[in-house]
Structure 1
């Protein structure tokens, strides 16, 4: 390789990367989402490139599982590996972004603050922050039911009634091991989820276990989708009369985290 070609190697790699990014952006467009993917000819028109070049680039991206091609329609769409990378990046950014906000909220409220996410059919606590070591009760890594927790009702905010039925079926009692829960059926859960969305946070009192109250507010990603919940829980005897004020403070903290993640700041939005 002569010196001129060697010196231009970084520039050629950079141009190739930009062209690949253009293809990924086309596949992330509203048109691609509406139609379930795009064909080579349409992508070529959108990016102003030759079809043969686009086809070669897409095949290379497909080999790395960054895009995939439907065997029937022959349309390309974003691949599972790309979504996996984004999800892992968001999880890391979520905890990094949320922790300082959680610490401020813990100081403001003098309560323990949890960061919870949806994992399968349960609420998973991924981070706990408290200014009082005696109030930290080993919640990190603990799973809890969706139906009878404030975090669960927030994390289900984007679900439709049909999606709730798919997730829970038509069982008569969603939480048989929690007799204090006011939510037993899918319609009752849907009502509780909508109440939380309208208020801006969810509240529970003695539903998960006796003398335990909690509240949760949604953390949204750059699309506005709920990706986590900031929660406060404690003995009903201590926080039961403060759920409204704690809810407002927690909702404000959750909006601050959401803004850092790219969701425009402002009043809580219902889905």
Structure 2
């Protein structure tokens, strides 16, 4: 494996996964045995192990040269499975709301400094929001983005958005982190967020949180409709539908302390 003709980057990836597979098959293994098993030099094996140790994927057993896997890979796999379950669970709830409202529904999650849409159900109307699964939007100008950020402290919000330029998509778009943090105070209090023509002119969005079993917000569920179809006196009804759906999904993910919803009042 040391003398392969693969490009360096590809060769390094192969070596990393070779080490992971070897450690997965044997609880603890020393550098000499691991290097022989993978046909790598001890110095190369050591460098890879130290890097993987720094990243948290590998642990060293005391002062010995024995190495083993940490639970970080398990955590990554669990997160992946959680999103698979999340989409399936959310789809059922979204279809219930869709049948009642005929409006567009989206499921979104945080990815870096943006939201990414994991699932959607289109509106039955001709005039509707244009979107696609995998599309990304800013956190600061979307209802789902605000819901996701509401789970963070002000310091964490500052850190997440530090590299982000606040672009004025419309006249109503928030202009900076300070304005956003003020908006998040209300989101945390009412347990839902709004985008009132902040991302697109003529478009109103409302979103509610979805929690994982640890009580952290992992996604937002939103309904989007043109302002010409939005009626202010129907706001709490739409919020109630979203929060009830969020509660149902969260409970199936193992969280049973969803904040009081409008349907509970």
Pick aligned residue for 2:130 from 104, 129, 137: 137
When normalised by structure 2's length, the TM-score is 0.69
Mapped to 2, the partners of 1:221 and 1:262 lie a distance apart of 7
- 2:141/2:199 contact within 8 Å kept: yes
Deviations 1:21-41 (A, max 9, x none): xxxxxxxxxxxxxxxxxxxxx
How big is the shift at 1:265?
4.8
Mapped to 2, the partners of 1:146 and 1:129 lie a distance apart of 21
Pick aligned residue for 2:108 from 113, 116, 120: 116
- 2:154/2:181 contact within 8 Å kept: yes
SS of 1:233's partner is strand
Mapped to 1, the partners of 2:140 and 2:198 lie a distance apart of 9
- 2:213/2:255 contact within 8 Å kept: yes
How big is the shift at 1:72?
9.2
Deviations 1:53-102 (A, max 9, x none): xxxx8536xx9x9963269999x994321111101110101001111111
Mapped to 2, the partners of 1:215 and 1:103 lie a distance apart of 16
State the partner residue of 1:148.
Answer: 141
Mapped to 2, the partners of 1:166 and 1:72 lie a distance apart of 35
Pick aligned residue for 1:59 from 11, 23, 28: 28
Q: Give unpaired runs (5+ residues) of structure 2.
A: 1-25, 35-51
Mapped to 1, the partners of 2:183 and 2:63 lie a distance apart of 41
When normalised by structure 1's length, the TM-score is 0.68
Residues 129 and 106 (structure 1 numbering): CA distance in 2 closer, same or farther, change over 3 Å? same
1:243 aligns with 2:222: no
- 1:110/1:131 contact within 8 Å kept: yes
Residues 127 and 163 (structure 1 numbering): CA distance in 2 closer, same or farther, change over 3 Å? same
Mapped to 2, the partners of 1:250 and 1:161 lie a distance apart of 25
Residues 180 and 72 (structure 1 numbering): CA distance in 2 closer, same or farther, change over 3 Å? farther
State the partner residue of 1:6.
Answer: none
Which sits farther off after the overlay, 144-153 or 154-163? Answer: 154-163
Mapped to 2, the partners of 1:170 and 1:230 lie a distance apart of 26
State the partner residue of 1:199.
Answer: 190
Mapped to 2, the partners of 1:67 and 1:206 lie a distance apart of 44
How big is the shift at 1:138?
3.0
Q: Give unpaired runs (5+ residues) of structure 1.
A: 1-56
Residues 204 and 112 (structure 1 numbering): CA distance in 2 closer, same or farther, change over 3 Å? same
**Number of residue-to-residue matches in the alignment:** 210
- 2:107/2:117 contact within 8 Å kept: yes
What do you get for the CA RMSD once the two structures are aligned?
Answer: 3.2
State the partner residue of 1:209.
Answer: 200
Residues 236 and 80 (structure 1 numbering): CA distance in 2 closer, same or farther, change over 3 Å? same
How big is the shift at 1:263?
0.4
- 1:213/1:240 contact within 8 Å kept: no
